Structures are given as C-alpha cells and as structure tokens.
Amino acid sequence: MSHEPSQPEQGPLSLVCAAGRVAWIGQGGPPEQAGGQRLDVAGRCVIPGFVDSHTHLVFAGDRLGEFTARLAGRPYEAGGIATTVAATRAAARPTLENTVRGLAAEALDGGTTTLEIKSGYGLTVDHERRLLEVAATVEDAELTFLGAHVVPAEFAADPDGYVALVCGSMMEACAPLAAWCDVFCERGAFDAEQSRAVLEAGRRRGLGLRVHANQLGHGPGVQLGVELGAAAVDHCTFLDDDDVTALAASSTVATLLPTVELSTDSRPAPARRLLDAGVDVALASDCNPGSSYTTSMALVIALACQRYRLTPAEAVRAATLGGARALGRDDVGHLGLGAAADLVVLDAPDPGYLAYRPGLAQVYAVVRRGRVVRRPSARVPAS
Ligand code: NIG
Ligand code: FE
C-alpha cells in the first residue's frame, strides 16, 4: 500500500494490523503472518481515517426551508436552532437512534473512523441527558455536553436563569455521560461571562473544554477558550491579530468548518494566517441540520484546499491528526506504530484527488481498528 503520494521508485508499502493497531509498516512484502485478512489495494493511496471532531448528529427534523431562504439572501442566525430543538424534543428515542446510527454509518462510509457528537438540541435536563444517551449508542464516539447551545424560548426572559440550570442540575445529569463541555459563545447565544460560567462548571465536573467561537462575527470566544485551556475553539471565521497571537502561544486547536461557511455563505476563516503563525489547525464537518448538513470530510478537505488555500497534505493532516489533537487523542489520526489501525483507501493515486476531483465518492475501502468495515464495491465495467 502506498501511504504518502505515490513513490513509484520506492515500491509499494505494506502495513500490518494486529489487535486493532498498526503493528508493522514498511517497504516490500509484509513479514509472514499466520492467517489474518489481506487487503491488496493495488497501488491506491492510503491515509489515516478521518477524525471528525465536531458534529451535532442527534436531532430530528430538517431545516430545508431555512436553507432555501438563505439561498434567496436571508442570513444565517443562531435562532434557527430553536426549530430543531422543538422537533428533537418531540421525537421518540428510536427515531433519534435511527438518525444517529444512519449518520454515523454515512460518516464511516466516507472514511470517518473517529467521531465527536454533541448534545444541544434538548435544552432541558431530561432532554439533554437523553441526547447523550442516544449519542452513546455510537461505538467509541467522543461525547460533548452542549446544554449551552442557545437559550430556549421558555427562558427568553431569564437567560441567566438558564445558565444557572446548565451549570447546576443539567451539568450534574449530563457530565457523567460526556467527556467534553462546549458552549456557543456568540451574539444571539451566550456572552463571555455566561460562557465562562458554563466552561468553569464543566471543568469542575472533570470535563475537557471546547468552544463554538467567532462564527457569526468577531467576539470573545477564542480568547476565552485559550484563557481557560480549551482543547479546541471551533469555527474561528472572524479572528483578529490578537486572536491569532493568543492561539499561536497556546495549545488550543483552531477547528475550521468550511462546510458551515459554504452553507451559510460566510467568508472563509483565515486558515493560512493560522497555519503560518504556527497554530494547530483541525478540519471538521460540524454536521447538523442548520448550518452544515453533511458528514463528508472529503468535501471539507476539498473546500479547505480551494477556499483556505491549504495544500492537500495540510488539509488531510488537519482532518486526521488535527482532529485527533482537538480531541486530545494520540492514538488516532496517524499511522505510526501502535496507533489505531484506522485507514481510508482512496480510489485515487494521491490524496490531492480529494480536492482535484471534488464531489465524487473516492473512498475505496475503510478499515477501522484493523477490520475492513467498508469494502470496495464491485463496479460494473463499462461496456
Ligand atoms: O456549529 N453554531 C452553533 N451550532 C451549530 C449550528 C446549529 C444549528 O444551526 O442548528 C454550528 O454551526
Ligand atoms: Fe457546531
């Protein structure tokens, strides 16, 4: 198998997986193995499985009407989240389980082998807890409590009362099910003081921190995330020089979400400035019914190359190793010895084809924890 862009003079690489981990990688034939499964990828390129570090997969209903209105010029606003909250609260648990299972399978088909999933469309103690329970049905997902997504209608007159609920009984009920605490720090959602309260409450409960920050305009979210040692600040569409400097001096990952900027017709995040300043950058799908209804990391990579001017190698790295860093994981997002044997085999000679031939299903096979979980489909030969 070739892992890097094709190196014909060096011959193909072989990779051996054992107990779900990368056990050997090298030129020429692999060492003799007793038994086991063999996958000959015939010179196709192999990259680490994608690590999608930002999704909202547990929801009901859709927002096609809102999307269509955007096509006619209406701006995206945080208020649309309320539509999905109403549909999600009304949905039966099996409906939510089917949706999350379907989207997780779709993501795996597209090469995503590690997924983060947020709550955030329940916004009561019981509903948020239920969403995390449903998300937990996805094997090995990283779960994030996002009770502070927006202030629900019933607290419109008392937003601080809602923040108190999130920091108190909602956090108590949800923290045991989650690894992470997130907050939407934005105009129309939570201000700096409210966001700080939520993040500090999450930290007291032992959760790692992440922030939806600087999506719709410049705001305090990135600086707050850096100050509190968040693992990641996500969106980062509107940054000033101080934000870039603060990120560069921190270990907080800047997670960029180009499909959100596509769906909401927003300007692109200043990705090159971040990379050139030495900031750790991740790419994720933010799959949700409002601002980015896609699980395709291939599309994310294509947009990152085209709109952010990332090289394909930088984009693939951000969608794999970058996502892993954003989740504090060193076992995924790369193919070093001992890493999880999570691989995507592309039906292409080079990862650059993800951007070069956008919009096509170029995933030939997916291996997760050493098992071939998506096999090459038999193509009907052209007559
Ligand atoms: O990441 N920004 C906040 N949350 C989501 C949008 C959710 C929605 O519109 O339903 C996001 O873009
Ligand atoms: Fe999001």
Task: Give the model's confidence band at 380: pLDDT under 50 very low, under 70 low, under 90 confident, else very high.
Answer: low
Task: Give the model's confidence band at 128: pLDDT under 50 very low, under 70 low, under 90 confident, else very high.
Answer: very high
Task: Supply the residue whose CA is at minimum distance from atom 9 of ligand 1.
Answer: 290
How many whole angstroms from 55 Cα to the centroid of ligand 2? 6
How many CA atoms, within 13 angstroms, populate the side-chain half-sphere of residue 15? 30
pLDDT at 382: 52
- Give the nearest ligand 1 atom to 76 CA: 9
Question: Residue range 194-220: average pLDDT?
Answer: 98
pLDDT at 79: 85
Q: Helix, strand, or coil here: 50? A: strand
Residue-level length of the chain: 383
Q: Ligand 1, residues 54, 83, 212, 233: which to mutate, most atoms within 8 A of Cβ?
A: 212
pLDDT at 230: 98
**Rounded CA gap, 336 and 153, in Å?**
48
Q: How far is CA 207 from the centre of its chain?
A: 18
Residue 52 bridge partners (DSSP) = 115
How many whole angstroms from 4 Cα to the centroid of ligand 1? 35
pLDDT at 379: 58
Task: Give the model's confidence band at 9: pLDDT under 50 very low, under 70 low, under 90 confident, else very high.
Answer: low
- Give the nearest ligand 1 atom to 290 CA: 9
Are 127 and 89 contacting, i.e. CB atoms less than 8 angstroms apart?
yes
Contacts for 109 with CB less than 8 Å, ≥ 6 apart: 363, 366, 374
For ion ligand 2, residues whose CB falls within 5 Å: 286
Identify the DSSP state of 111.
T
Closest listed residue to residue 17, CA positions, set 331, 372, 316? 372
How many whole angstroms from 308 Cα to the centroid of ligand 1? 21
pLDDT at 28: 77
Question: Residue range 166-185: average pLDDT?
Answer: 98
Q: Which H helix or E strand runs over 16?
A: strand 13-18
Neighbours of 106 (CB within 10 A): 15
Question: Residue range 99-114: average pLDDT?
Answer: 98
55 Cβ inside 6 Å of ligand 1 = no
pLDDT at 333: 98
pLDDT at 377: 67
215 Cβ inside 6 Å of ligand 1 = yes
pTM for the full model?
Answer: 0.95
Are 87 and 59 contacting, i.e. CB atoms less than 8 angstroms apart?
yes
> Is the pLDDT confidence value at 3 over 80?
no
> Is the pLDDT confidence value at 120 over 70?
yes
pLDDT at 1: 46
Phi/psi for 232 (5° steps) reads -155, 145
Question: Residue range 228-257: average pLDDT?
Answer: 98
Question: Residue range 154-165: average pLDDT?
Answer: 98
> Is the pLDDT confidence value at 8 over 80?
no
Task: Supply the residue whose CA is at minimum distance from atom 1 of ligand 1.
Answer: 286
Question: Residue range 106-130: average pLDDT?
Answer: 98
Question: Residue range 71-92: average pLDDT?
Answer: 95
pLDDT at 10: 65
80 Cβ inside 6 Å of ligand 1 = yes
Neighbours of 193 (CB within 10 A): 11
Neighbours of 93 (CB within 10 A): 12
pLDDT at 2: 42
Task: Give the model's confidence band at 7: pLDDT under 50 very low, under 70 low, under 90 confident, else very high.
Answer: very low
Query: Higher-confidence residue: 32 or 64?
Result: 64
Question: Residue range 85-95: average pLDDT?
Answer: 98
288 Cβ inside 6 Å of ligand 1 = yes
**Measured between alpha carbons, how far apart are the two ends of the chain, in Å?**
29
Chain-wide mean pLDDT for the chain? 94
Q: Ligand 1, residues 58, 62, 149: which to mutate, most atoms within 8 A of Cβ?
A: 149
Residue 292 bridge partners (DSSP) = 288
Q: Which H helix or E strand runs over 244?
A: helix 241-248
Residue percentage of the chain with pLDDT more than 70? 95
